[in-house]
Amino acid sequence: MSLTAQFPKRQFSHRCSSRAYVKLANQAVDKCRRWAWGCYRHSPGYATWIKRTRWALLKDPNKLKPSQREVLEQLKAQHGALYRAYLIKEALRDVFRAGPAEAPERLDAWLAWACRSRIPAMVQLSQTIRAHRKGILDAIGLGLSNSKLEGLNSKIRLINHRGYGHHSAAAIIAMIYLCCGGITVTLPTGR
């Protein structure tokens, strides 16, 4: 039985992680970058330069290298759609960093900006986010995050990789319980 069937008065967000929506925004920015490359692919120097803007556009601004900051400054000077797409993506990231009190106002402003941008990838992203608006605001208000689940998932993948595959599902489940379950095994050797 699903959670929504058990608790019909509650609204549950199926994508409560802000990272999922920032990932969608990154995909939209990358789609814009590929579109810009397609427009300028016959001018070799500029097309190559656009191709190399990828990581500067997708990274968190706090983690940019100096060369990537330079690329963003050049994009800013051009006042193009690619830089506007980047700004829209960063504004969405700021919505998720906002507190529960100011998140609804910021999200509404972001949705209006993204819809008016006339950048097809951003308009499509705004439609997706508008469809999940209530769940997003609920997740921000409750402070929901997938971080613990993602951490456990990476531990399980490491256990599976370390074992070079297992003969049965029971073997990997036993290893997961042993490594993640907080079980302390004392060996009989007395060391």
- Quick: pLDDT tens for 3-12: 455 545 554 4
CA distances, 144 to each of 32, 76, 115, 116, 136 (Å): 30, 34, 27, 30, 10
The pLDDT of residue 186: 82
Alpha-carbon distance 56 to 27, whole Å?
14
Q: Which of 57, 50, 55, 56 is CA-nearest to residue 34?
A: 50
pLDDT on residue 13: 42
| Predicted confidence (pLDDT) per residue in 55-106, tens digit | 999 998 889 999 999 999 999 998 789 999 999 999 999 998 888 899 999 9
pLDDT at 4: 54
Contact yes or no for 112/129 (Cβ under 8 A)? no
Q: What tokens were used for 50?
A: 């656009």
Per-residue pLDDT of 31-57, as tens digits, reads 999 998 888 888 878 888 888 899 999
Residue 67 confidence (pLDDT): 92
Confidence of residue 2 (pLDDT cuts 50, 70, 90): low
The dihedral formed by the CA atoms of 140, 60, 72 and 55, expressed in degrees to the nearest 10: -120
Q: For residue 104, give the nearest of 129, 139, 131, 137 by alpha carbon.
A: 137
Exposure b/e, 3-34, CB count within 10 A at least 16 = b: eeeeeeeeeebebbbbebbbebbbebbbbbbe
Q: What is the mean pLDDT of residues 139-164?
A: 83
pLDDT exceeds 60 at position 14: no
Residue 86: the pLDDT is 94
Q: pLDDT digits over 99-143, tens only?
A: 889 999 999 999 999 999 999 999 999 999 999 999 888 888 887
Residue 153 has pLDDT above 50, yes or no: yes
Q: Which residue blocks in 60-146 are alpha helix, DSSP H?
A: 66-78, 81-97, 103-116, 120-131, 133-142
Cα angle 78-79-84, degrees, rounded to a multiple of 5: 130
